[in-house]
Amino acid sequence: MSNAALPGLERLLNMPEAMRPTPLIRLDSVSKRWGESVGVDAVDLEIHEGAFVVLLGPSGCGKSTTLRLIAGLETPDRGRVFIRDADVTARAPAGRGLSMVFQSYALFPHLTVRDNITFGVRVRGLPKATIAERLGRAVAMTGLEGLEARKPSELSGGQRQRVALARAIVAGHPICLMDEPLSNLDAKLRHSVRQEIRALQRNLGMTVVYVTHDQTEAMGMADRIVLMDRGRIAQAGTPEDLYLAPASMFVAGFIGSPPMNMIGAVHVPPALRFGILERDFGGDWVIGVRPENLEITAGGDDGLPVRIRDVEYLGAETLVYAESAAGPLIARSPGPLPPLSGGGASARWAGTAQHVFDSTTGRRLEPAPAIRSSRGTVPIPPADQPRDAAGHRWCNAHGGL
């Protein structure tokens, strides 16, 4: 995705780690548990000013706990939380200079839209003129003009959502934390509010930490995604980093729909043994191939033999569902496909599309040979690179943001 609207951020993300300014928010080895229940486990995280960072992962992986630790609604058992270089670990939420938008919106039912939006700043005692000026701006930005006198019960879900957003804008805090703010909206509205939130964040130069379990939402909105798994960070990077070079089978399976095909190395025919498989075949490995990189054709004897189960023509693309000795496979190709008759078919992919994982640890073993992204091509590491390339940028689970 492009950060063209934010040239400053683009520059920042490309800067070598050592030259980057201090992160706006930093979690330093933060852990939080309740008895046996692990909220987060030794999480290291850096969030830079002006970034839109999405905490992503399945239910219960620790997204809300991470957000609440940043907000000060939870206190860590271990580790420290920093905002602008200040250790805020023990500081109350009100002293951290941030606003929060929750799934529930948390609006006062007896207050009007106007009073809900301005409640916090009135409590803080901001001058009346400042409040009026900010209110006008926030109402215009969120398209709530004309609804100022209504009560929340007289609003649609989308409008209530915007009131919660307007309240965060009026607060004027440079950091906004959002926990699944769109989950009460229907799919169509979710899409448009998503774009509004992104535009607002850019226009106001806010730093947003946004929680969702929806990978499409994360891919579309984030400058940086932090994908979590059981209280830990599975991988942190740009949407492209996670899609093109997933650090583990978990990441590969979570990002992308339909998910990446996983093929046990023993099933890979000699003609499709590329890179590490070619050099050192026999490992207990899993080969990952994205559906758009898998080609299923009738006939051909050097590919992986498959039986076609179903073909779904979806207009812009066609999905082919097949069975193989390695399990079910899905191929995706643009537009319609010529009819695939029954009988023998085979699956093929290019060496550049292959992802190799250790089936025991689930970790990525070798990067895709050349990963092309909007930020140029990631260099190809030498062939004698150690098996577990943990030190490499694309495998670094705890990379700075």
Which residues contact residue 125 at a Cβ distance below 8 angstroms, ignoring those fewer than 6 apart? none
Answer yes or no whether residue 181 interacts with ligand ADP by CB under 6 A. no
Q: How far apart are CA 363 and CA 356, in angstroms?
A: 8
Answer yes or no whether residue 360 interacts with ligand ADP by CB under 6 A. no
Secondary structure letter of residue 27 according to DSSP: E
3-class DSSP state of 80: strand
> Which tokens go with 53?
């960072």
Residue span binding ligand ADP (CB under 6 A) among the ranges 31-39, 44-52, 272-280, 393-401:
31-39
Q: Considering beta carbons, is residue 191 or 230 the nearer one to ligand ADP?
A: 230
Task: Name 332's bridge partners.
Answer: 319
Amino acid sitting at position 144 = L
Answer yes or no whether residue 63 interacts with ligand ADP by CB under 6 A. yes
3-class DSSP state of 66: helix
Residue span binding ligand ADP (CB under 6 A) among the ranges 33-41, 265-273, 301-309, 386-394:
33-41
CB of 64 to ligand ADP, least distance (A): 3
Q: Considering beta carbons, is residue 62 or 275 the nearer one to ligand ADP?
A: 62
In the set 17, 21, 59, 315, which binds ligand ADP (CB under 6 A)? 59
Angle at 264 between CA 263 and CA 267, to 5 degrees: 90
Which partner in ligand ADP, Mg ion, none is near 65 (CB below 5 to 8 A by kind)? ligand ADP
Which partner in Mg ion, ligand ADP, none is near 34 (CB below 5 to 8 A by kind)? ligand ADP
In the set 14, 22, 37, 195, which binds ligand ADP (CB under 6 A)? 37
Answer yes or no whether residue 72 interacts with ligand ADP by CB under 6 A. no
| Of residues 362-401, those binding Mg ion (CB under 5 A) | none
Amino acid sitting at position 250 = F
User: Among 208, 129, 132, which Cα is nearest to 174's?
Assistant: 208
Determine the length of the chain: 401
In the set 61, 117, 144, 365, which binds ligand ADP (CB under 6 A)? 61
CB of 32 to ligand ADP, least distance (A): 8
Answer yes or no whether residue 118 interacts with Mg ion by CB under 5 A. no
Cβ atoms of 179 and 64 closer than 8 Å: yes
Owner of token pair 């590329």: 274
Answer yes or no whether residue 215 interacts with Mg ion by CB under 5 A. no
CB of 63 to Mg ion, least distance (A): 5
The pattern of x and - marking residues 60 through 99 that bind Mg ion according to CB under 5 A reads: ----x-----------------------------------
CA dist list (Å): 374 to 52, 69, 219, 243, 257: 18, 33, 15, 13, 21
CB of 108 to ligand ADP, least distance (A): 24
Q: How far apart are CA 111 and CA 117, in angstroms?
A: 9
User: Among 237, 280, 213, 348, which Cα is nearest to 248's?
Assistant: 237
The DSSP result for 105-128, as a single string, is: TT--TTS-HHHHHHHHHHHTT--H
Answer yes or no whether residue 303 interacts with ligand ADP by CB under 6 A. no
Answer yes or no whether residue 64 interacts with ligand ADP by CB under 6 A. yes
What is the contact surface with Mg ion in residues (CB under 5 A)? 64
What is the contact surface with ligand ADP in residues (CB under 6 A)? 34, 37, 39, 57, 59-65
